[in-house]
Structure 1
Amino acid sequence: MSAEETNKSEEQKNIDKELKNSETSELTTAKSHGEILKQQIIEGQETYDKNSVSILLSSLTAGLEIGFSYLLISTLFYFLHGKVEEDTILKLISFVYPVGFIMVILGQSILFTEQTSLLTLPVLNKKRSLGSLLRLWGLVISGNLIGGYLIAFLLVWIGPQLEIFDLKTVEKIALHVTNYDKTIIFVSAILAGWLMGLLSWLIAASKSTLSRIVLIFMITAVLSFVGLHHSIVGNVEVFAGLISSPAITIGGYLIFICLALFGNALGGVVFVALLKYRAFVYDVKG
């Protein structure tokens, strides 16, 4: 073994030792960086250990449940249309946008953007391989997207039947999400992925259900208020437009979903998982 390999091995042993010594306090004091990181790595490894079918079903459930955000977005947009200026409606949507996220995250379903940084940490800590990460991402993304397709079909049919929104509303929402330059969507998705990765970190730092609800509402309301692109909610929004309006093309949908997924992943991995992990490593190295 070369000197460089020996040094890396010793460094990894020191990191593992420091993580092992990070015990979560039952007191009211805030968790340390090491405690949060340790919890995130453990939770990430637990997901790796789950059965593939279980992961796919949990991811599909998340894709379905996130549709309740879309249901409320469409209903509120339709209800306020003509009564309030459209730009004001788009800001007010931030009050209902978090509902689906609260259902998914507190219900422990697997949402790609919330799990991106979480699943990356065991790889950075050399407990899992890059190949296993990409395989897991593939399962989660597939489940989230399929769930989104199913709920989009249901909501596009039931909305007009219940007269809570119409297909014109569906089209307007889809166009609002996609009517940007490709670079804008990509950078917006990076910021959204950054915030969602940070949300996962903050939830691990919190100690009560109420504080977690407040954190989920705060972060996802910011996403909605400033119009950042979230791949899984956006999947429902744009796919619903695709199946109900000629204004959204299959090419436009595919470009959007690829940019949003890649941007969200990059934001979660680089700005949360990598930076948080490296900050801890440099602290251990002293």
Structure 2
Amino acid sequence: MPERKGPRPGTAAATGDGLKLHRRPLRADGRGYSVITLRPGTPARFSTNRFHDTWHILSDLHGARLLGRLLWGLSFQRLPGTVVVIDRPHLDPNPFDAEPADPIVLVPAHLTTLTARAIRRLRRAAAEPSHGTVRWHTWGLDTELDRARRTLDLRWPEWEPPVDTHGAAIERTGGALVFRAPPSRLRLWAVDVVTLGEQWYHDMDYTYLHPVGRRGPCGSDGEVQIFRDYRLKVSAARTARREVLAGLPPAARPDDVNRLIWRHADTVRARRGPAVRV
């Protein structure tokens, strides 16, 4: 059999306009879908967790740039049933206690209806061979980023035009974490996510993803949080989980175990020494 071609390193790490993605058309739960996924060689990594009643997407600076482009491009799609799925191999255990991450599903509310049954089918499809490569265009994003940066100090909610919230929601269903919004809100999320890392605080930055309805103690149902040393945190959490579980009885409560892992991860990072800044 011919060897499957992988992406060139330069294109695999790209996060600009014209990003190459994979597409898989399929039917699930009586509807047609166009499933967009990252290519296997894409180096971006993500994780998820729930903390303070808020769903989090966790990554680093590169992941934020890519996620923002995905959101912006999704807002301009015209094909009903289009959906973006981020699943393995682009998921890490979370960088705190190494619990497994949920797949991330990005949904344009004006185009796509998703049931839990359809999501489970889409997740399986994401692991199957793709039907080809598509170019993910994000025209207008750079212009909007410039505008947002110029008006950053003037962005009071009452001064901004209202953003459509019809169909917007952040929820876990079908074994995946679903972020669903209409075009104007997808674009708002995109700008906020792409500009993460421009104001670091203790090597961390975050932005809330405001849909509608209930708000958690953090002020939103969703949040994207990035870390300069995200990958080192993931590695330390993996080691901490392995070491903690090796010394605990099988009947230990999961919440207690995760708290122990969270604390022990600090010990693992200290044992390894400070991160080297590039």
Q: Greater CA radius of gyration, 1 or 2?
A: 1
Provide the TM-score with structure 2 as the length reference.
0.24
Higher RCO (C-alpha under 8 Å, 6+ residues apart): 1
Structure number with higher helix proportion: 1
Provide the TM-score with structure 1 as the length reference.
0.24
